[in-house]
Chains A and B, each alone.
Chain A
């Protein structure tokens, strides 16, 4: 079964520092991978997605992620954190089990210190 694992339930960075949120996937077939962001008291919204083609994917708000098949990873990065990046981030994989579903990781809460 396909799944994703997010390493670290909480990550804290200083404003202006690199953001790195880790995600590893388990899949026997080429995966379709997503990162979503959830701001307080809101629903999730798409940051970026990898389907096929270029392995470095750029998303909104300066985030990007690199698909590395050899490492089964899809880590999310941003060169310089901003206070407004404080949120919860979810890695997800799209599966087809007779219907298209999205399987989510447990989430990583990002704290940004001034």
Chain B
């Protein structure tokens, strides 16, 4: 049981380049999330998908787009990378209900130069 799988684990981009971060979960969860983690700021929600076919903005959506491809997969795209997007990105999934916990991938360390 793999849980939440993110690819790639590391990436270096030049300013202005684009890339897509991939995420897949095998727990049949309805909800999926993309967070970014920066020192001293905890995890901030970029976008989330409450169920297949829906996506919504989180706290810091500017510069990102997402696609909920199916129930398993939720991708995050940077159309034109900026140095401010240098961060560690985490994908997570959870089941319905306020009492359910989130399950996280291992993270993608992205550097934009």
A35 CA / B112 CA spacing, docked (Å): 31
Q: What is the distance, in angstroms, from A54's C-beta to the closest C-beta of chain B?
A: 14
| Chain B interface, >50% SS class | loop
Range class of the A interface residue count: 20 to 34
Query: What count of chain B residues pass the 8 Å CB interface test?
Result: 31
State whether A106 and B102 are in contact (beta carbons under 8 Å apart), knowing that A99-B31, A99-B56 are contacts in the complex: no
Report the tally of A-B residue pairs with Cβ distances under 8 A. 71
Q: What is the distance, in angstroms, from B2's C-beta to the closest C-beta of chain A?
A: 13
A49 CA / B99 CA spacing, docked (Å): 8
B6-48 vs A, CB cutoff 8 Å, 1 = contact: the mask equals 0000000000000000000000000101010000111111001
A101 CA / B43 CA spacing, docked (Å): 12
**Closest Cβ neighbor of A6 among chain B residues:** B42
B residues less than 8 Å from A106 (CB atoms): 40-42
Please give me the 10 A-B residue pairs with the lowest Cβ-Cβ distance, nearest first: A99-B50, A43-B104, A51-B99, A106-B42, A104-B43, A104-B42, A46-B101, A32-B98, A94-B98, A44-B104
Give me the interface of B with A, judged by CB distance under 8 Å. Answer: 4, 31, 33, 35, 40-45, 48-51, 54, 56, 58, 90, 92, 94, 96-102, 104-107
Give me the interface of A with B, judged by CB distance under 8 Å. Answer: 9, 32, 34, 36, 41-46, 49, 51-52, 90, 94-96, 98-107
